[in-house]
Structure 1
């Protein structure tokens, strides 16, 4: 059912109320806290692009949330689109000056751990991390998008993604998380949402507060450790929640090169370590990862 005063958007309905920016600010902006400002816009091309474009004028802890993104981007410039108010689409600006720049590569992985932790608490959904920047949920296998190897018990689907970009003196980290998408609205057979995974809550304000508070906690711990992923517990936490480990994967690398191997570890630099046979270990720092064999036997 569509609200009579809703914007002219075919996705707007009463099941997807707008975010209350005043309530979010009361719950997240506090003296001495990380988050310094929070704004919500009805629609924008990309919250990452918006913040990156004015990074020189931003304070650390700036948060920009969009009810709808029309040109959201994932890794490798993949498009990320979803119905208005159906998810969380936001970016934050961080300036970890105390941390050596060579350790900033951990930030997207940190954001993944923070999002998975916050959503597990607030939505009651177990999320897994696909290296380097995807959030996976398990949904029933009969949603109208069957995949080879799916079982009635369900399959892992992508419910969120993270994109980190250097901007000015800091980093812009963007997240897109599918919250209330219905089966007919899924953009691809490999997509899912918190609702389809059985979330106990799809209240976006509750979920956003939980993710940002978790991100503040993890970022503070990591920064206090000088960006040391082992000392801060980040490396261990990421490995514990990573669905890529102990699977056979194909890594599509820059330059049209690909390698196949078993994902055996996340090293101290946040790289995925593949065992490619014959005792050879190859760390992957950037690339597109395809799960070739998982619990369901299918591709992810």
Structure 2
């Protein structure tokens, strides 16, 4: 039986470890040819190594799949452009882009340096934008040339971007920005046969194990379900990245353990229209009445 992604060419950024590695392996298992991008940096973005990406490529090839490593910095124009070129030159096409690369520099806002803000924004938000831009340019050209496109993009947001997370103002802002980018890309690129969705995963990775060490620990029993294994998130990513997800675009999914949730985001709630300008006192009174009728916001991570 052929896999769900047989014949597709898939790019996964940040695929040397954690969620990205799990995604790359899962796509390969379903028949995709995979470009494994990773700079091999430390948890805070320092250093670099070709080792993690090549190790995943070797693992895919050992299982009978096809993969190549890409070590370019996807938060630069040249790195992102070369990522798309690597897929097309090596495998002849690009069908799916999974934006996953990222790292953390956690601090409360009063202790957050400008460099820490910029670095996290760069890898997460710019590191989504540039690969998406260059992949979209490729798909647009393909569509204008008359070739049928069934392209997919899966972006990686976070619960921190949907609800906020204490000590992660830079990360939360970047992940919230990724949701906005996803919505715009889905609206703009649909005409070319491109679907764009986002996931907000929860899993045990280098980025989470320090913060959630107890709740994310692997079970002692080898036969027990490991709820926080990164591999639990990948099946949804593979489906979203396949032709089987036809018609699904501009959506955000939360994925954790065995649970998948469609996140519904901002929608208009209670409203009051005076028909003329409010005074500040009237506006305050109206706001309090509306708040009393509204849903309670989700709890910011770290405040429980």
- TM-score (normalised: structure 1): 0.34
Tell me the TM-score normalised to structure 2 length.
0.34
- Highest Rg: 1 or 2? 2
More strand by share: 1
Higher helix share: 2
